[in-house]
A and B are shown apart, each in its own frame.
Chain A
Amino acid sequence: MNSISVQARKPHRKLTEEEKAKERRKQKTRPYFMVAPAMFFLVVFTFFPIVYLIVLSFFKYNLISKMQFLGVDNYVRLFTVETTFGVALRNTAIYTISLIVLLIFLSMLLAIWLEHSSILNAIAQRLMFLPHLCATLTVAVVFQWLMNDEGMLNAMLRFFHLPALRWLNSSDTALMSIILISTWKSLGYYTLIMLSSLKSIPTELYEAAALDNTGPVRKFFKITLPMVSPQLFFLLITITIGSFKVFDTVRIITEGGPGDSTNTVVLWIYNKAFSGTIQVGLASAAGVVLMLIMAILTGFYFKALNNKIYYQ
C-alpha cells in the first residue's frame, strides 16, 4: 500500500541510555537558555540599576571624586533643605491628578460620542490619535508657539473679545498650560482605547436594557461603566505612571519655570544629576522616592479597586 514512505525514511536506530539522558538534560535546560539573553538584559539594565540607585542614594557623589557615605542624609535633605523638591513634588502631583481626571473623563465621553461608525467620526478619531504618535518635542514646541503672548491662541481669544492669557509666561498659568498640552497630546490615544472597549460590549445587552426601560444615565452607570472597567483601570495606572514621569515638555519649553511653577520631580532629578553642582546621591534619593511613590500608588489602586472591576 504505502511503498513510498517506507523507502524514504532513514533506518531508526535505538538511542543508548546515555544519549537518552543527554537528550532529557537538553530538554530541561533548553528553556533557561531561551530566556537567558532577556534575563541578562533585564538584570543588567533594569534590576541592577534599581539596586545601584538605592545604593547611590546613601552617598554623596559628583561623578568625579570618590563617593562619600552619608547614611540617610540625602533623604533628610530632600524633605527639609531642598524646598524645590517639595515644589516639584507638588507640581507633579497636581499635574498627575489633573491628567487623570481630564483624560479619563474626556476620553470616556468622547469615546461614547464618537462610537458610531461614520466618516466624520473616522476622521475625528484619526486626527485625535495623531498627536500621540508625534514626538513630545514637536507638540511642546508648537504649543509654545501657539501660547506665545502674540501667538495664535491669544489672537483667537481676542477675536472673541476674551482676555488674552499669559499661558506659559506666568507662574499662575504655566502648569495649567503644560497640563493642557499633555492632554491634547494623549487624549486621542486613550479615547481610542476606550472606544475599542465600548465596541466590545455586546449590543444585545443594550437591547435588553432598552426592553427593561432603562434611561440613558442608568444605562451608563449600570452597564457601560462596569463593562469597560478593566480598561478604565488600565488607563488609571498608565496615566498615573506616565504623568509622574513628565519631563520632555517641561524641559523643552519652560525648563521648570517661570520660577519653579513647572518644575517636576524628574526634571528636578535630572538637573541635580547633570547640571549645576552635580549631586548624584541626592538625585538618586529623589529617584528612589519617586519609585516608591509609583509602587505604592499602583499597589493602592489594585487593593482599592480590584473587586470593582469586572474581569471577563
Chain B
Amino acid sequence: MVQTSVKKRHRKAYRINRTVKKVLSIFGRCLICLIFAFPFYWMIITSLKTYQESIQNPPTLWPQVFDLSGYVTVLTKMNLGMYFKNSIIIIIAVMAIQMVVMVPASYAFAKYDFKGKKLMFAMVLVANMTPTVITFIPIYIMFAKMNIGGRKILTTLWPQILPFGANAFGIFLLRQSFMQIPEEIIEAARLDNTSEKGIMFKIMLPMSKATMATIALFSFVANWNAYFWPLVMCRTEEVKPIILAIASLKELEVGLIWPTIMAGNTLVVLPILILFAIASKKIIASMAYRGVK
C-alpha cells in the first residue's frame, strides 16, 4: 500500500503543476500561431506599402499609407492573363490525361491477376520514388529534338504536361482504394451485364471519390506551384506558367521593389488561400491523414 504522506504530496504537486502548465501551453500555442502567420501577414502588408515605406528601417507594422502600386505594376506590366491561362491549361490537361491513364491501370492492378503484374507494379513504385531532378536532363534533350504540328515541341505546353501523364503516386493511391471495394459489388455488376468500362466509371470511381479528390488536390497544388520543371522546359515566354512568371518579378523593375514582388506573390497564393479557407479540414484530412505504407 502506498504511504499516505507520499500520496498527499502527489496530490498537491499534481494540482499546482496543472495550472502552471496550462498558462504556459496557451502562451506557447499563440507563439506558434504567430510564427506561422506572420510571414503571410508581412507579405500582404508589404504589398500594400509604398516602396519608400517598405524599405524603411525599422519597418512599420502597419502601412502609413495604403498604396496599391505594387499590384498595379504586376497587373499592367505583366501579361498575367497569359501565364494564368497556361497554368490552368496545364493543370486541366494533366488531370485529364491522368484520369484516362490512371483509372484503368489502378483497376487492373487492384482487381486483376496477370503475368508480370508484380514487376509492373514494382516499376510504378520505383517511378514514384524517382524525382524529376533525375529525369529532367534526358527529357529535355528528348523534347529539344522533337517537333509537333510543325513547331518545336518546346514552344508548346506539352513538355509540361506529358511527363506527368502517368501519376505513379496516383496509381498507387487509387489501387489501394480500389482494393478496398468488396469483390461482391463488382460481381453483382457483372451479373447485371455491365462492361468493364462501366464498372470502372459507374461503380469503382464513385466509391473512390475521396481518393480521387486527394489525387486531384495534390496534382493541382503541384502544378500550380511548379517552378523547377517549367524553368527547365520553358525557353519562350509564351509557355511560362504563373509561378515561373512571378519569379521573374525581381527583374521587372530596377532593384528589388518589394511591394511589387509581394503583390505578385500574394496574387499567386490567393487561390490556394481561398481553397484552404473553404475546405481546410478536408484538405488536411486528405493530404496528411492518409494511411502510410
Interface flag for B148 (CB, 8 Å): no
Which B residues lie within 8 Å of A94 (CB)? none
Assess A45 versus B131: contact at CB under 8 Å? Given A123-B33, A138-B265, A193-B292: no
A39 and B129 in contact, given A120-B29, A155-B57, A290-B134 (Cβ under 8 angstroms) = no
A38, A56, A130: the one within 8 Å of B137 (CB): A56
Contacting residues of chain B (159-184) with chain A, CB-CB under 8 angstroms:
162-163, 165-166, 168, 171
Contact call A49/B265, Cβ cutoff below 8 A: no
Interface size on A, residues (CB 8 A): 85
B227 touches A291 (CB 8 A): no
Contact check, B42 vs A152: say whether CB atoms are below 8 A apart: yes
**Residue B1, interface by CB 8 Å:** no
**CB atoms of B292 and A53 under 8 A apart:** no
Q: Is B215 an interface residue (CB 8 A)?
A: no
- Bound form: Cα–Cα A10–B90 in Å: 47
- CB of B3 closer than 8 Å to a CB of A: no
Contact present for A120 and B30 (CB under 8 Å):
yes
Whether A105 is near chain B, meaning CB under 8 Å from some CB there, is no
Contact A37 B166 (CB under 8 A): yes
List residues of chain B with CB within 8 A of the CB of A291: 130, 134
Question: In which size bucket is the chain B interface?
Answer: 35 or more
A20 at interface, CB cutoff 8 A: no
How far apart sit A129 and B58, CA to CA, in the bound complex (Å)?
30
A52-84, CB under 8 A of B: which get 1 and which 0? 110010000001000000000000000000000
Minimum CB distance partner of A150 in chain B:
B57
Whether, in the assembled complex, B127 has its beta carbon less than 8 Å from a beta carbon of chain A, the answer is yes
Task: Say whether A25 faces chain B, with CB atoms less than 8 Å apart.
Answer: no
Interface contact A142-B108, CB-CB below 8 Å: no
- Chain A residue contacts of B276, Cβ below 8 A: 126, 130, 133
- How far is it, in angstroms, between the C-alpha of A127 and the C-alpha of B29 when the chains are bound? 11
Say yes or no: B127 contacts A189, CB within 8 Å.
Answer: no
Instruction: Find chain A residues with CB under 8 A from B104 CB.
Output: 33-35, 37-38
**Nearest chain A CB to B189 CB, angstrom units:** 16
Stretch from B76-84, B206-214, B280-288 that touches the partner: B280-288
Contacts of A294 in B (CB 8 A): 129, 131
Partner of B133 from the list A129, A193, A252, A290 (CB cut-off 8 Å) is A290
Beta-carbon contact of B107 and A145 below 8 Å? no
Are A143 and B39 touching (Cβ within 8 A)? Answer: yes
Q: A133-B283, A134-B269 are in contact. Are A234 and B293 (CB under 8 A)?
A: yes
| A188 partner, pick from B36, B221, B225, beta carbons under 8 A | B36
Interface positions of A from 247 to 306, Cβ below 8 Å from B:
247-248, 251-252, 266, 269-270, 273-274, 280, 283-284, 287, 290-291, 294, 298
Provide the bound-state CA to CA distance between A110 and B35, in Å.
13
Knowing A42-B124, A192-B288, say if A52 contacts B29 (CB, 8 Å): no
Do A30 and B196 have beta carbons less than 8 Å apart? yes
Quick one: which of A35, A45, A245 contacts B139, CB cutoff 8 A?
A: A45
Q: Within 8 Å of chain B (Cβ to Cβ): is A214?
A: no
28 CB-based A-B contacts, threshold 8 Å? A30-B108, A31-B108, A31-B117, A33-B104, A37-B105, A37-B166, A41-B162, A41-B165, A45-B139, A45-B165, A46-B126, A46-B166, A47-B127, A49-B137, A49-B139, A53-B134, A137-B225, A137-B246, A142-B43, A146-B39, A152-B59, A189-B287, A192-B284, A245-B133, A247-B133, A280-B141, A283-B137, A291-B130
> What residues make up the interface of A, taking CB atoms closer than 8 Å to B?
28, 30-35, 37-42, 45-50, 52-53, 56, 63, 110, 113-114, 120-121, 123-131, 133-139, 141-143, 145-146, 150-152, 155, 158-159, 184, 188-189, 192-193, 195-197, 230-231, 234, 241, 245, 247-248, 251-252, 266, 269-270, 273-274, 280, 283-284, 287, 290-291, 294, 298
